[in-house]
Amino acid sequence: MPGPRIRQLSPFLLIDHIGPMTVAPSDKPLGSPPHPHRGFETVTIMYQGVLAHRDTAGHAGNIGPGDVQWMTAGAGLMHEELYEKEFTRQGGTLEVVQLWVNMPQKDKMAPPNYQDIPAAAIKTLPTPDGKGTIRVIAGTYEGVSGPATTFSPMTMLDVHLTKGAELTLNLPADYNVGLYVVKGDVQLHGNRPAATKQLVVLGWDSQEAHITATEDSIVLVLAGEPIEEPLATYGPFVMNTNKELMQAIADFESGAMGKFEDDE
């Protein structure tokens, strides 16, 4: 997402699932070199491997298996995500899901921020049948609150199910709901199959979503109150008007979003 059938699942704008892929040992870290963002947030969920983040707002950190990085681009910054040095040296398997999350118009020019959320900070609860676990990344589910702070109401869950597990999700009626299968094979409502790297959009009024795992599976639950505002996008900028996009491009080209010292 976005794709020919699904442009967005407001407030979620993009899903980028990288891997699982084998990274050969190297002396030179690969990944995403410095690039700008404005007007939204990036959420990076690590499943395998280690990434190193830094940005021109002064934030830096490594994220490994189970960790989540929640970066608010807001008014704008430059950032890079490269393979962490030791992971680069040793090589290994890399798998990561990155989401772009929209911000309301009133918050788009908020100061950049960085939430470093280690796996240990994410509370986990068992599924009712005891055959799976639910990691609450953002929002509140069954009385458990996630550590991420958000600009609009949402619930983000990382659900791990063993074969044969069944789960009925209970979500707010006014939320947009999507289920992304990170790994495995599931049946939704008993008759709708979904497999690895497929997104099922349930949309509004989906308080109950029944999932049956036909094999060991991981499902990312994306549920949020839609942001019903005009959307103007151009590459790494997500604003409300074309005029704001032109300003974002001008600010980037003038260096107003910052530079890394070693790039000067």
Q: Tens of pLDDT along 212-221?
A: 999 999 999 9
Find out whether 54 and 22 touch, Cβ atoms under 8 Å. Answer: no
pLDDT tens for each residue of 1-42: 888 888 889 999 999 999 999 999 999 999 999 999 999 999
pLDDT at 264 over 80: no
Q: Residue 204: what pLDDT?
A: 82
The pLDDT value recorded for residue 6 is: 84
Give the C-alpha distances (Å, rounded to integers) separating 105 from 137, 151, 231. 24, 10, 9
Predicted confidence (pLDDT) at residue 227 exceeds the cutoff of 60? yes
Output the pLDDT for position 263.
Answer: 57
Confidence at 255, pLDDT banded by 50, 70, 90: very high
Structure pTM?
0.95
Answer whether residue 262 shows pLDDT above 80. no
The pair phi, psi for residue 107, each rounded to 5°, is -110, -5
Residue 78 has pLDDT above 80, yes or no: yes
SS (H, E, C) the chain: CCCCCCCCECCEEEEEEEEEEEECCCCCCCEEEEEEEECEEEEEEEEECCEEEEECCCCEEEECCCCEEEEECCCCEEEEEEECHHHHHHCEEEEEEEEEEECCHHHCCCCCEEEEECHHHCCEEECCCCCEEEEEEECEECCEECCECCCCCEEEEEEEECCCCEEEEECCCCCEEEEEEEECEEEECCCEEEECCCEEEEECCCCEEEEEECCCEEEEEEEECCCCCCCEEECCEEECCHHHHHHHHHHHHHCCCCCCHHHC
**At which residue do the structure tokens 């890079």 appear?**
80
Of the given ranges (121-125, 130-134, 200-204, 241-245), which has the lowest mean pLDDT?
200-204
End-to-end CA distance of the chain: 35
Residue 59 pLDDT exceeds 60: yes
Confidence band for 237, pLDDT divided at 50, 70 and 90:
very high
Section 102-121 average pLDDT: 98
pLDDT-derived band at 205 (thresholds 50, 70, 90) equals confident
